[in-house]
């Protein structure tokens, strides 16, 4: 009888230990480990760009493959549907099927499209000694908030913030702020799938003659 009581007590202790919430330090470590181990992802991104005129809103499909391959396919607005931007680590292809044109750029750095990718944020965060991380609760949902500077001292692209939803283990929102702290780009991620196999053909640059 005593032996059964002992086993039951051990079982209850194990359940209580297993259900105990992680400390903030452990959460920080786990999420940072996830971020540093992000080799690829696909997602749908809802993007709002704030310029000097009315905000512009887009829905796009994103592909990313470490260390520096990116692709954006625009789904909305309808007049831009099918427009594709591909960066293969060396060159950029911009293709607009509705007007039957495509062109290649030699430089993708410092473009707003590049800054929309989580991979770009990760690179900046890992290479910035002043990166910050803290826990934040918004509408009863717990997040880890990462913040880092954007290199280059650009007045419109000065800092980045990333909200990572703890419970779903999911990058939720990315914001790019200008030198005055005003939001210039606001991105919400949906259908996020990470470390899936992405074929290199997704990033192939070719213009039909």
**C-alpha closest to that of 24 among 189, 145, 159:** 145
Which is higher by pLDDT, 32 or 107?
A: 32
Model confidence at 8, in pLDDT bands (50, 70, 90)? very low
95 lies in which domain range? 21-203
Residue 172 CA to residue 144 CA, distance in Å, equals: 10
User: Quick check: is 126 in a domain?
Assistant: yes
Quote the number of domains for the chain: 1
Mean pLDDT for all residues in the chain: 81
Q: Say if residue 11's pLDDT is above 50.
A: no
User: Quick check: is 144 in a domain?
Assistant: yes
Q: Say if residue 2's pLDDT is above 50.
A: no
Contact between 205 and 104 under an 8 Å Cβ cutoff? The reply is yes
Q: Could you read off the pLDDT of 128-151 as tens digits, one per residue?
A: 888 888 889 999 999 999 999 988
C-alpha distances in Å from residue 182, one per residue of 51, 52, 74, 91, 150? 11, 12, 25, 31, 14
Which CATH number characterizes residue 179's domain?
2.50.20.10
How large is the average pLDDT for residues 92-108? Answer: 75
Neighbour tally for 72: CB within 10 Å = 22
Q: What pLDDT, on a 0 to 100 scale, did the predictor assign at position 77?
A: 94
Q: What pLDDT, on a 0 to 100 scale, did the predictor assign at position 109?
A: 61
Neighbour tally for 52: CB within 10 Å = 4
Q: What pLDDT, on a 0 to 100 scale, did the predictor assign at position 16?
A: 39
User: Quick check: is 161 in a domain?
Assistant: yes
Percent of the chain residues topping a pLDDT of 90: 39
Prediction pTM value: 0.80
Q: Could you read off the pLDDT of 14-27 as tens digits, one per residue?
A: 343 344 456 777 77
């Amino acid at each position: 009888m005593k032996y059964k009581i002992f086993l039951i007590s051990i079982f209850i202790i194990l359940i209580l230990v297993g259900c105990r919430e992680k400390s903030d330090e452990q959460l920080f470590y786990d999420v940072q480990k996830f971020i540093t181990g992000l080799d690829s992802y696909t997602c749908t991104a809802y993007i709002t760009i704030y310029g000097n005129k009315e905000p512009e809103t887009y829905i796009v499909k994103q592909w990313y493959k470490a260390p520096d391959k990116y692709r954006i396919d625009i789904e909305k607005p309808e007049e831009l549907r099918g427009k594709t931007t591909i960066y293969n680590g060396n060159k950029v292809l911009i293709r607009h099927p509705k007007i039957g044109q495509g062109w290649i750029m030699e430089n993708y750095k410092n473009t707003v499209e590049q800054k929309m990718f989580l991979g770009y944020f990760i690179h900046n965060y890992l290479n910035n000694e002043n990166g910050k991380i803290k826990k934040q609760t918004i509408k009863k949902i717990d997040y880890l908030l990462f913040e880092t500077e954007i290199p280059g001292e650009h007045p419109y692209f000065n800092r980045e913030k990333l909200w990572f939803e703890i419970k779903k283990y999911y990058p939720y929102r990315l914001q790019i702020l200008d030198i005055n702290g005003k939001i210039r780009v606001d991105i919400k991620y949906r259908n996020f799938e990470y470390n899936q196999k992405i074929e290199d053909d997704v990033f192939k640059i070719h213009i039909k003659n």
